[in-house]
Amino acid sequence: SPVANKYNAVAAYKRAIMKYIVSLPNVVKALDYPDYDPDNPEELIGKVILPYRRFVETVEEKHCYIMVRAGFPEMRLRDIKNAFVARATIQIFIVAHQDKIMMEDESLDITRIDYIDGEIINGLATMANSEDRTWLGNFALKSDLEDALDYKHICRVITLEGVDVNVAKFLSDTGDV
């Protein structure tokens, strides 16, 4: 059913975004999370790359992490063959504890959240100009803003909008049909 496919598509879309993020070696390194196998960065998903907006458990937690939110606020039937297309909203929250906000490499002179943000945006721009972009669809950067989750956690929020995402093709491409 179209409704069930919508929720499969939301979960699959978030998974695809998280897999894309862990494919960026500079992002994985900048997260500075020691407890993973470098040959299997996908194991960071669920540990420091999360498919939901997480609230910090204690103000003493000194981690960096990425949270992904996605949804399809609009879905419509494009043609008689039941080709549903959607407008997608994607938010990527890059969070760092204040004690982890600066990169260790002082020559970079940049915050960790700004560095990770730049790597993700540059990667998306590269992907947008390649043949391997069907899973995300055509998208626009709507905003890229710094914020704070609380008095010890700083974040940067990237908001993207995908237009005319072919939901059936996306689910088929990712194997989530």
Task: Please give the chain's pLDDT, 177 residues, in tens.
Answer: 444 555 577 888 888 889 889 999 999 999 988 888 888 999 999 889 998 887 766 556 688 999 999 887 777 666 656 566 777 888 999 999 999 999 888 777 899 999 999 999 988 877 666 665 555 667 788 999 999 988 889 999 999 888 777 776 666 666 555
Strand 64-77 relative to strand 84-97, pairing: antiparallel
Question: What is the spatial order of strands in the sheet that 84-97 belongs to?
Answer: 49-50, 64-77, 84-97, 153-166, 138-150
**DSSP bridge partners of 147:** 155
In the numeric block, the tokens 């420091």 are attached to 48
On the 0-12 / 13-18 / 19+ scale of CB atoms within 10 A, 123 is: middle
pLDDT reported for residue 36: 83
Q: What is the pLDDT of residue 134?
A: 52
Q: pTM higher than 0.95, yes or no?
A: no
Residue 143 has what pLDDT?
A: 95
Q: What's the pLDDT at 49? A: 92
What integer pLDDT is reported at residue 155 of this predicted model? 93
